[in-house]
Copies of this chain bind each other. A is one copy, B any other.
Amino acid sequence: MANLDFVERNNQSIFGTVDTAVEFKKLFDKDVSLQRALLALQRGPVRFYRDNHVVAEDDLEKYLLFVVSGVARSCKVCKGGTRSVVAFYLPGDLFGWTDTKHSLAIEAASDTEVLFLKRSSLLSLATRDSRVASFLLDATTNELARTQGHLLLMSKPAKCRVATFLTELWARLGKVKYLDVPFSYQDIADYLGLTIETLSRCITELERSRLIARISGRKLLLQNHFALGHMMN
């Protein structure tokens, strides 16, 4: 079980809760036969460099993905070149359910390690072990809740979206003093349904209003949490 310590190492999570990873690890710890079964259907962890595809479309039907380190994104490029980021996946997130329907591309948003779990094997394991089944259900309902939150965000004005994004990012990263944003502005803009220009202007305005301060590059300091919370509505 050498490979599973990553769950402990990477217990910073941004949009996904780290609970999932903890639960995943518990599954391993409790039952040695289960460990063997899961390890048997595991491939990886495999490293991917930023902006590279994690799976071919065909493979996604066969595998579920588990993020070990870094950030993965699922996104769609429409005719005209517009890109939408549907979700970011962080260490501890299990995903890859629905991508056949909208033909979403899974890519590395930063250098990333991903575990491949054979879908059919995992599902048949779930019929035999109810802990696996309820883990899968839990992971899926969590992702559903996050997606609904994302959806609600999209019908709010730009400033609110950015304030919400930064605040939640900060909370997920453990509410440390300085927020080190691990995405490119283009990724954030595509996630929030804005252009990079609008995103930049929003951040500049937050800075001018003293709600946040820029330390360096993508390192920020959230100064006025009350005002930010108010802006989130």
A149 within 8 A of B: yes
A154 within 8 A of B: yes
Q: Which residue of B lies closest to A97 (CB)?
A: B141
A216 within 8 A of B: no
A137 within 8 A of B: yes
Q: Which residue of B lies closest to A148 (CB)?
A: B86
Given contact pairs A130-B126, A137-B136, A102 touches B149 in the complex (Cβ within 8 A): yes
Distance between Cα atoms of A102 and B232 in the complex (Å) = 13
Q: Which residue of B lies closest to A160 (CB)?
A: B78
Report chain B residues within 8 Å CB of A1. Answer: none
Interface size, A (range): 35 or more
Kindly provide the distance from the CB of A158 to the nearest chain B CB, expressed in whole angstroms.
12
In the complex, 19 of the A-B residue pairs with CB atoms within 8 angstroms, ordered by the A residue number, are A79-B233, A84-B155, A86-B151, A86-B152, A98-B144, A98-B145, A102-B148, A102-B152, A104-B148, A126-B133, A126-B134, A127-B133, A137-B140, A140-B141, A143-B144, A144-B147, A151-B154, A154-B154, A154-B155
Contact surface of A with B, Cβ cutoff 8 Å: 76, 78-80, 82, 84, 86-87, 97-98, 101-102, 104, 123, 126-128, 130, 133-134, 136-137, 140-141, 143-145, 147-152, 154-156, 193, 233
